[in-house]
Amino acid sequence: MPETQEGLLARLAALGIAARTVEHPPLRTVAESKTLRGSLPGAHAKNLFLRPKAPGPYLLVVLEEDRQASVNALLRRLGVPRGQFGSAPELFAELGVLPGAVTPLALVNALPGRVRVAIDRALLDGVQAVHFHPLANTATTALAPEDLLRFLRALGHEPELLDLGPAP
């Protein structure tokens, strides 16, 4: 069974990670989530769950929300010659979330080595908080950037930082 939102927040607390969670109506896209910006200061992300064509781990690419990037260019930058978006069943099998709720916090459900996580450095630099869905798109959780990285490492997932230039 995938981790619950309550279980995720308890894991963060057990690591001493401060997390502020705000409940809201379901948000499936970056455009929909921008309606909450006034109450959620800090950086916001878009998350791409990708499957390489050749054998290898899935990829979770976490970008600054306004970053425009070609999926193929991102894959090449990560040393993956070809790939595509993962399917909804693959997403649920690997991360335990549904489309519209993709988040690096879902790595709580992934076995180490099954999903590579790459994070846009511009998302983390110079902000006090980064915001992600806590396994469901009916809430948003704010964490300090260094706490996000610490949480992922505690789960056995070493994040790769991508230098894609300044945030748009």
> Would you kindly state where each structural domain of the chain is located, as residue ranges?
5-162
> pLDDT over 90 for what percent of the chain?
79
Across 19-33, average pLDDT: 81
Instruction: Using the predicted structure, report yes or no on whether residue 33 has a pLDDT greater than 90.
Output: no
Q: What is the pLDDT of residue 29?
A: 72
Phi, psi of 137 (to 5 degrees): -85, 20
- Class of the domain covering 5-162: alpha beta
DSSP-assigned beta bridge partners for residue 50: 59, 85
pTM of the model: 0.92
Strand 130-132 relative to strand 43-52, pairing: parallel
DSSP-assigned beta bridge partners for residue 139: 23
> pLDDT over 70 for what percent of the chain?
97
Q: Which of 20-34, 70-84, 125-139, 142-156 has the lowest mean pLDDT?
A: 20-34
Q: What is the pLDDT of residue 28?
A: 73
Across 120-125, average pLDDT: 94
Residue pLDDT, tens place only, 99-112? 989 999 999 999 99
